[in-house]
Amino acid sequence: MQIWPTRRQPSPLDQLASEILALPRGIRIVLADPPWEFRSNSLKVPGRNPRRHYACLTVAELCRLPLAERLAEDAALFLWVPAPFLVIGAHIPLMRAWGFQPRARAFAWAKLNSRANPVCFGPNDFHMGPGLTTRKDVVPGKRGKSLRCDGGVRELITAPVREHSRKPTLCMNALSATSAAEGRSSSYLPGNLGLAG
């Protein structure tokens, strides 16, 4: 009986890294909502956590993604950071590993229930996420010269939640205005890594 060597399935980290390496060099705008791994995200009982939708990666694994190799000399990062990671500063080594210097905060998305009126809403209209949170923050990072085009973008965006990981149109409009991403080609990778060249 002959035993053939089994082919190892690529890990989620290897898959995402190979997709990044397949991209052309010179990426100027990165919108990233990485698949952050929380200790409370159970493999056996995924419940409401992201593992129902995709594999999650530790901060150390996310830092190993070869994004810096594909960036332009002047580039901007907009990183969605869950509150528990923001509080402990876990996003800072990730941003630096990807070739960016962290900045203050681009904006926060206050999540409304899908049925809430986005113009007239009250305290009970806010969406309560799995971590009992009602907002998600976007932290900007800079590489080289600033790409900022519009200083009039509001720091707070209130918009209803949609499908898992789908961001509100207002967020995309804010990013376009802030960084001149509009009119540029873009691609999206698993784990919500959006790139514009």
pTM, to two decimals: 0.74
135: left (phi over 0), alpha (psi -120 to 50) or beta: beta
The string of pLDDT tens digits covering residues 63-75 is: 999 999 999 999 8
Contacts 24+ apart (CB under 8 A), 67-70: 67/20, 67/30, 67/98, 67/99, 68/97, 68/98, 68/99, 69/21, 69/25, 70/20, 70/21, 70/23, 70/24, 70/25, 70/26, 70/27, 70/195
How much is the pLDDT for 190?
Answer: 38
Task: Please state the domain count of the chain.
Answer: 1
The string of pLDDT tens digits covering residues 156-174 is: 777 777 766 667 776 666 6
pLDDT-based confidence at residue 184 (cuts at 50, 70, 90): very low
What sign has the CA pseudo-torsion 105, 107, 111, 114? negative
How much is the pLDDT for 185?
Answer: 37
Mean pLDDT of 33-47: 71
168 vs 14, more confident: 14
Residue 4 resides in a domain: no
The string of pLDDT tens digits covering residues 93-102 is: 999 999 999 9
- The tokens for 2 are 């002959």
- Length, in residues, of the chain: 197
Residue 101 resides in a domain: yes
How much is the pLDDT for 104?
Answer: 81
Q: Which residues pair with 27 in a beta bridge?
A: 71
The string of pLDDT tens digits covering residues 105-164 is: 777 777 888 888 877 888 778 776 655 566 678 898 999 987 666 666 667 777 777 766
pLDDT-based confidence at residue 192 (cuts at 50, 70, 90): very low
Query: For tokens 């720091």, what's the residue?
Result: 155
Residue 3 resides in a domain: no
How much is the pLDDT for 6?
Answer: 57
Q: What is the DSSP letter of 105?
A: -
> What span, in angstroms and rounded, lies between the C-alpha atoms of 92 and 141?
9
Query: Residues 71, 77, 80, CA angle at the centre, nearest 5°?
Result: 140
Alpha helices in 34-189 (DSSP H): 59-63, 83-88, 91-97, 169-179
Residue 99 resides in a domain: yes
User: Domain limits at 61?
Assistant: 12-196
Q: In this structure, what CATH number is given to the domain that contains residue 131?
A: 3.40.50
Residue 2 resides in a domain: no
